[in-house]
Amino acid sequence: MRFDVLTLFPEIFPGYMSQSILNKSIQNGIVEIHIHNMRDWTTDKHNKIDDRPFGGGPGMILAVEPVVRCVRDVRAMDDDPGVVMMMTPSGQRLCQPLVEDFATHHRRMILLCGRYEGFDQRVIDILKPIEVSIGDYILNGGEVAAMVMIDSLVRMVPGVLGDELSSWDDSFSRGNRMLEYPQYTRPREFEGHNVPEVLLGGNHSAIEKWRLQESLERTKIRRSDLLPEPNNESATAETPNTKSET
């Protein structure tokens, strides 16, 4: 999977790319991340890429010409032109089923990171990017949102995780659209808090039943919106395996 990140602040990314699972995936050639400075596509001697909005108002707007030139040139850098995605609070909300859909259908993604008051509307009109939001809040720029996108997507790429089943039962994931059950490790007791006995007995059927019940209870309390309608009892019991991925 290849990511091309278009940003005004490329220096934000090296530390992120050098850590943990992502770094190993890059070193192993499973994932490619290319960072491009949109200022390199300006024609102004000062590399000016923003300007005041027509009609007045606070802040500055990213100009259409250098951004469109940048995207077109970057798309031509690989045989696969990829899909352009814009990180913006007005986009569709990022969720695990959407991540799975992107990972299934796109090998290359070009991520546009906005700054200031955002992009000239003509960037959207001309490039027709997929607009994606990571939540109902405002960031200083799209770089952190792009990192969230990359982090969520690379987990879907075969060979990235040590165990291919690691992501299957994660919260919101294909094997479990509910919240994940509690997890424990050594020691068995700490400050009066004990590991549930069912996890220590080796009865895998009982363990699976306990995990399903804990997942259901946690979801009821914290995210009841994830559960099927109350009158659909069979769907509730089978939620980890039967809820739609779309």
Return the active site residues. Answer: 89, 117, 155, 170
Name the H helices within the chain.
Answer: 13-17, 20-27, 64-75, 96-105, 121-127, 143-154, 204-222, 233-237, 239-242
Terminal Cα distance for the chain, rounded: 21
Q: How far is CA 200 from CA 190, 205, 206, in A?
A: 16, 13, 11
Residue 133, by phi and psi: left (phi above 0), alpha (psi -120 to 50) or beta?
Answer: beta
88 φ, ψ to 5°?
A: -150, 145
